[in-house]
A and B are shown apart, each in its own frame.
Chain A
């Protein structure tokens, strides 16, 4: 009964990966479509020697590190808030799902218009409040462009992180907190000594999901900056080589390298979190 699913997954995921590796070992003629010759690992060595590739690696990792960290902090705050008993927390949970349900491309367009020079909302607010920076062309500066990209991603996915953490919070028995209170622990102490250790598996799972997602980021930089000004990520750079520059061999090599990097990070995570994941599976 599992086989139909496996067949689809293998046919549309595993086979193309094999084909991508095959493509990446060839050079293709742009003038004569269909003409190709074997070049071995040449496409890989030239990618590994190029500054653009390492630039994309750096951007992707900086983006991932900062956005996932912010998402964890903000998501934790939201999760703790949603876990507190108060009237209307169901509404809060529904509200939190809104950014996640909105079309990413649509929101990217919106952020682009908000940070637009002169007429953008951000600059007009800065101008009205007489704050510095009202004339900044946000997406034309390396640091700022990346900051906008990170903010857009955090907005979209911090709520998702919050829901994953909330689920973790809900399985922590109330009794532990009550006992802590009786023993005179402050709320910070209770958070540090009771909540955090018990929440570790949920945090790890949320981190894995988000990190691997962030490493593949494509649509936000595609719409916001087209990869200019220090926002070119691995996926976007490979895409540009493949489709805009029609460099099928080198582009495929980049795509395979992206795949390898993401897989390496996920293996690393599974290795680090393996015990926790196993413990969780055993509980079930």
Chain B
């Protein structure tokens, strides 16, 4: 079998598609909530935290595999523990980074230990780190649906104050936004999302879904509407596209997902740079506060 055949194969594609509709559906769901939560991950500078949480999520999943309980439950427990620890112990950015640096290898080490002790199918082990498409069975899908519903509901409720607290914590606090309480609440939601992502793309590649789409969207727009919309679109295209490409081959799903999301980012970066060069933030000439401006320029593109 040539390398190409191992990467892409479209024999019996329709049948495979029918078998893997669970994975595709889970993937689309993950693209949606990953894209939404990514907006806050990027704005709150939590990229490293996402990586730290995913390693502990991996440890939890590996433990679940070892003792034979639901892997999704295991990874949720692992990532919630990590998210809360990071939320409580790493309030300041600098503290947070070093604390995650301490936590991450510990989690990864635990995960490796549990996997080494596990005597079941080898594909299960590898899948936790790098993702797999056959992993999503019905009970897991139900778990993921519940988790997604919680995440979406939480985001819908706290979107506006969370955005305020993220952009301008000082003023948000003065306006009565519970800035301090929102931080751990967001970490819980983030932990749940990471636990889901680990099932699809694996612990090592979670960032491709929780950071890359939002980061790409923010290269091309600053609109409060288009940043989340584009981010979700990029996320869904990456995951579903990745799954569809990976279906026929015999390789893990993650390289497909990460490659698609990376190229979307590159495209957005190029577009954003061109937009900057053409003058993104066009404005009227230095306006004088003494003469109220009624000169309006057409909305910047």
A, B co-complexed: no
List chain A positions with a Cβ less than 8 A from chain B.
none
List chain B positions with a Cβ less than 8 A from chain A.
none
